[in-house]
Amino acid sequence: MRKIIECVPNFSEGRDTSKIERITAEVEKVPGVKLLDVASDAHHNRTVLTFVGGPESIKKASYNAIARAAEIIDMARHQGQHPRLGACDVCPFVPIQNVTVADCVAVANELAREVGEKLRIPVFLYEEAARFPERRDLASIRAGQYEGLEAKLKDSRWKPDYGPATFNRKSGATVIGAREFLIAYNVYLSTTHKETGHMIARIIRESGCMATADDGRRIRIPGIFKSVKAVGITPGEPGVAEVSVNLTNYRVAPMHFVFEKIKQLGQLGGASVLYSEIIGLVPKEAILKAGRFYRPRARSDKRLIEAAVRNLGLDSPQGFNPMAKIIEYLIGAP
C-alpha cells in the first residue's frame, strides 16, 4: 500500500479568489498530490487547503504553495478575525496511510529548513515536531500574532527553529509541524450578546481561563474537555456568535459531546444553535460515532451519517456532502 500524508496549510487570504487560485494551483501541478478541499472564509480572511500525497510530493507541493503565498500576500495589510502569524500561518502534516507521526516530523523539518533558508521566513516547529515544550501548543507560538512578531523575535527564547530571527514584514512567520488528525469545527449561535462565544470557548477548551483567587493571585481554571482548543469569534452577521473549535483528538473529545455542551451553555445564556460546520475534512469514524450517539439503533453508514448531519446542524446553510467532506471517501480508503 502506498504512503499517504495529509497536509492542511492555512493561508492568510480568504477574500481574493485570484490569489487563492494561484496558491491552490501550486499544489495541483505537483505529480502524486491530490487536492481534496479548499475552504475559504472572508470574515476570517483565511483559506485552508487539504491535500494528500507521498512524503516527497507532499513536501514539494507545500513548499510551492508557501512560496506563492509569500509572493502575493502582504501581512502588513492583512485584517481578519482569526488569529494569524504569517502569510502561511500554519502547515501541519498528518499520517493517513502507511506512515507514522515520526515520518511526518521528518517531512516537517525538511520543509521548515527550505522555507527558512530559501524564503527567509522565520519558522517555528510545533506539536509533535516541537523541539521545546512551550512550542508544542500553536496558541503559545501565535501569541501576540503578526502585530507582536517583531518584538517576539527579539526575545532569545523565541529564536526560530529555522530561518532568520529577523522580522519579515511582508510574510510574517510560519508554523510547521506534525500531528494527528484535527477536526476544525465551528458552531454558530443566535444571540445579541457579543461575549457569548468567548464565554463558551473559555469553559469548554482544555486550557480554560485565568481567574483571580481570593488572595489576589492569578490562577488558571481548566476547561471541560481535554484535546479541545476554542476561541469565541464575533462574525460580521448581526445577532450571531461563533465558537471556533479545534478537536485535536476526536476520540478523547468526540465532536457530538462538544456540540451538545456548546448547545447547553448557549441555552443557559439565552442563545440557540443556528448551525455548525466542519472546515476541511473529517474522518469517517468521527461522523459515525456521532451518528451512533444520536441514533444508536441505526446499522448502515448512510443512516448514521444522516443522523450525525441532522443532529449536529451540519445540513444548514451550506450543507454537508459526505463524499466531499469525509476523507476516506475522497482518497478511496475503506
Residue 97 one-letter amino acid: Q
Q: Are the C-beta atoms of 173 and 123 separated by less than 8 Å?
A: yes
Cell numbers describing residue 196: 457569548
In a 10 Å sphere around its CB, with 0-12 CB exposed, 13-18 middle and 19+ buried, how is residue 329 labelled?
middle
Cell numbers describing residue 321: 456532502
Q: Are the C-beta atoms of 181 and 195 separated by less than 8 Å?
A: no
- Report the alpha-carbon distance of residue 51 to residue 33 in Å, rounded: 7
Q: Are the C-beta atoms of 180 and 101 separated by less than 8 Å?
A: yes
- CA pseudo-torsion sign 7, 13, 17, 22: negative
78 as an active site residue: the answer is no
Partners of 187 in the beta sheet? 243, 276
Tell me which of 82, 193, 198, 256 is the catalytic residue.
82
Q: Give the length of the chain.
A: 334
Which residues carry out catalysis? 82
